[in-house]
Structure 1
């Protein structure tokens, strides 16, 4: 039986008597909220500034928490101090610290103080902006922020709400997965409408029509694209990529021709800018004209990489974006806007509205039809005030500050890449792009798999795997705005040490099997002082 640890008072938490809110005076409520709110802000600040002192990933086992909690909820409210104590004692040991300078596993989920404050204020206001009338400021700020981002990222002007043709616009959603769902459902509605109007075809009912639809994406696309197709009951083909893991136009053209010959109806393409595995880019300059010619909805997933387009020198992957019917960027990844905040644009909002417009009498208002009601742009009725934190971040950092953040991240990634390339025991099997470096040990995949496992077991840094073709690789991403060059060097030395220990063990086994062992000291190699001084390289040389 797991014994609940003795609680201790966490840093910066003050003892505050909890009032019974339903009966206490307004002054008591305000005093309570001030004291506990300040304690929480202090706690968050202490947490973020003390991340280097915490293990990056937890060592708990599945099911660790239930034995530490009561079997049921308390009958009476508890003191805020006790809740704070349990947060540090029970919850923090099970937290993977995504803001840590030594978290390198996934694409980032950054935050910042302006974003935290904006989200805190939005939560305090706690409005539900499903229509303009239900919260005019929330609706209009969302319109302005999505238009600002169009210009900041150099996206087509047709994605702006205020474009002269009045057809496009952006909406903020909870996740990129949800945005992909919106794009696919809108594309399906457009395709079914066109099929119903085609008198040359025996269209049948919508279920039969839907069974003929086929969409396309690359074999490097995010798993959510497949999940969305399953939920939408449409078939989705995963097309092979080239040697640089990019989906090319000719591959798409052949697939479309094959499917049309089979009586299917191609209708949708999801192109990715910044794939999850190796951060590569589908060739929109080739895909776009084919989509336009064939009448396919082109959706572009730039969830992580989209933030890089703040910098003019990083916009080359955007060639062909003028052909996009929809586009998604997640500022909740790299733009220092905390989750959730995925921005989704469409060139023609009527496709969204015809898919999601359900307007009962109780949601109508005097301006219905003449203003934007975001409930018609999405699946949920509820619209959170997400634009407030986005506004806080953009105003606090400015375009210059956000660009500097992106460039600094890329510089740190290039530094790590240079360290890897200097060691002959490692290889980089795919081009490094925009904050991501993939690497592996030379030799069989099992070596890199073991290295990954040992690195994560150390709890001193965290990385995740991917596949580049048939090669097992480790992803190293700069995921924290707190990461410095010293942090990168420290983590590379951990990789080197783990690799050395692994190769020593492997070499010892080979030696027992008749292999010759050569151990080479590196202390004298001054050119590599900054990455591996004092480290031993172990090489097993097979007898010819």
Structure 2
């Protein structure tokens, strides 16, 4: 493709994306495709000769679009938002155009230093502890997801706990990791990958009312395991759980971790970016005093395309100690000098994309004021929805809803618990099949709840009103 051809087709692609953004509301939220539909419309074999890009764009409409669930649709309430925005798309395009592989400072100094500065900016915007800034012993890095951040944190914690022997000799004694029943499943997966093993992931009790981790039970488990000869490695506290946005008591958990000398990782994948608003900065409680690592996802609620997880550590030495391997072909003067960051030592893979460009573009386009307004809009719309549900005697509301997620269910008076759960599931399936909105469910307190996660950039009060009206109509009909 010549530069002139790229210009011509590039304009068409940008126009296609802009048109899509304008008309996204006209699509059914959830894809209507059946298993195998997209495969059936794709040739079984690749073309022998190259085709014009017109054919690609035509098949994008004919084959791909029917298989798309529209995450940017204003009635997409199923999962936490996966925001995108114009400046983020353009930043991603610039990253793709430059084609940088930023594994080392030397392979593109701007890739590394822009990321360092942008993570310091974001730490400032969120009011994070000074110890997470790059000028000290800590610092930030962009991972692909909170799952990778958790795995990296576990490896760093392992390195610190056993003095690096597990990285050299493998795990030769029992190591333990601590989560709650509400912690994201990626922590158990990370424990498997790291060699700790799922059987050594200890599940801490939660408060039945708030679903927050119980520090007293955590303390008891740590004491019991250490007495049995295990080496406790990491505790994961969550700020804004996936199921209900429960918030673990980080200060109390951190105090327990400090007494036992255990690494504290705080997973704020969804809710952490809410701290861009000063009135929501309570989500940072305990970080400065106790957190060894922390992660949150701009690609959820901060208008930045997936993938973009911001991760910070209070001390980078265990992280780089666990992950740094320097073969001869990567040796260079800048790395040897010790004056630069090589982000390959802060992640699992060697190679890395220039992810910072899209976050940089978003922060510069919206500024702190625009980012705060986006988050506040989501919180306000969710509060409006919760008020509607709470005022309806036919529905039951889960009262904890400080962010953009609202969990609720019809009361189904007179139905046994299992039949009420089944009725709630049928209601959700009917709503999702309508194409008008898309919800998911969870189970909390032994009951099935519907989840409505508000936060798509296009969602406004009219979409909340329409969704609630649709839910009530279907519940009454069902």
Normalising by structure 1, we get a TM-score of 0.83
Distance 1:249 1:188 in 2: 22
CA contact (8 A) 2:344 2:352 kept: yes
Alignment of 1:123-522 (within 5 A): 123-163=96-136, 167-193=137-163, 206-209=170-173, 212-234=174-196, 235-242=200-207, 243-322=209-288, 323-368=290-335, 369-443=338-412, 444-502=420-478
- Equivalent residue for 1:30? 3
> Cα 1:135–1:194, aligned 2, differ >3 Å: closer, same or farther?
closer
User: Could you list the runs of 5+ residues in structure 1 that have no partner in the other structure?
Assistant: 1-20, 22-28, 197-203, 503-544
- Equivalent residue for 1:82? 55
Q: Deviations over 1:332-366 (max 9, x none)?
A: 11000101111111111110111111111221211
Displacement of 1:248 in angstroms is 2.6
Alignment of 1:30-49 (within 5 A): 30-49=3-22
Distance 1:486 1:223 in 2: 34
Distance 1:145 1:317 in 2: 21
Q: The residue matched to 2:279 in structure 1 has which SS?
A: helix
Distance 1:104 1:360 in 2: 47
Distance 2:144 2:40 in 1: 32
Q: Deviations over 1:384-433 (max 9, x none)?
A: 11111111110110001100111111111011111111211110134112
Displacement of 1:103 in angstroms is 0.3
Q: The residue matched to 2:77 in structure 1 has which SS?
A: coil
Q: The residue matched to 1:455 in structure 2 has which SS?
A: helix
User: Could you list the runs of 5+ residues in structure 2 that have no partner in the other structure?
Assistant: 413-419
CA contact (8 A) 1:278 1:430 kept: no
CA contact (8 A) 1:429 1:468 kept: no
CA contact (8 A) 2:158 2:164 kept: no
Q: The residue matched to 2:449 in structure 1 has which SS?
A: strand
Alignment of 1:114-129 (within 5 A): 114-129=87-102
Q: Deviations over 1:156-209 (max 9, x none)?
A: 11111112xxx101111111100100000111111121889xxxxxxx964322
CA contact (8 A) 2:298 2:309 kept: yes
Q: The residue matched to 1:270 in structure 2 has which SS?
A: strand
Q: The residue matched to 1:109 in structure 2 has which SS?
A: coil
- Equivalent residue for 2:415? none
Distance 2:345 2:55 in 1: 44
- Equivalent residue for 2:417? none
Distance 1:483 1:468 in 2: 27
User: Are 2:86 and 1:113 aligned?
Assistant: yes
CA contact (8 A) 2:204 2:214 kept: no
Q: The residue matched to 1:172 in structure 2 has which SS?
A: strand
- Equivalent residue for 1:518? none
Distance 2:381 2:124 in 1: 27
Distance 2:159 2:304 in 1: 32
Q: Deviations over 1:460-479 (max 9, x none)?
A: 10000101120100100113
Q: The residue matched to 1:343 in structure 2 has which SS?
A: strand
Q: The residue matched to 2:106 in structure 1 has which SS?
A: coil
Moved more, 108-117 or 315-324: 315-324
Distance 1:85 1:317 in 2: 46
Distance 2:367 2:83 in 1: 17
CA contact (8 A) 1:438 1:475 kept: yes
Displacement of 1:496 in angstroms is 1.0
Normalising by structure 2, we get a TM-score of 0.95
Distance 1:325 1:268 in 2: 10
Q: Which has the higher contact order (CA 8 A, sep 6+)?
A: 2
CA contact (8 A) 2:153 2:265 kept: yes
Q: The residue matched to 2:172 in structure 1 has which SS?
A: helix
CA contact (8 A) 1:218 1:239 kept: yes
Moved more, 107-116 or 413-422: 413-422
Match of 2:68 among 69, 77, 95: 95
Q: Which has the larger radius of gyration?
A: 1
Q: The residue matched to 2:442 in structure 1 has which SS?
A: strand
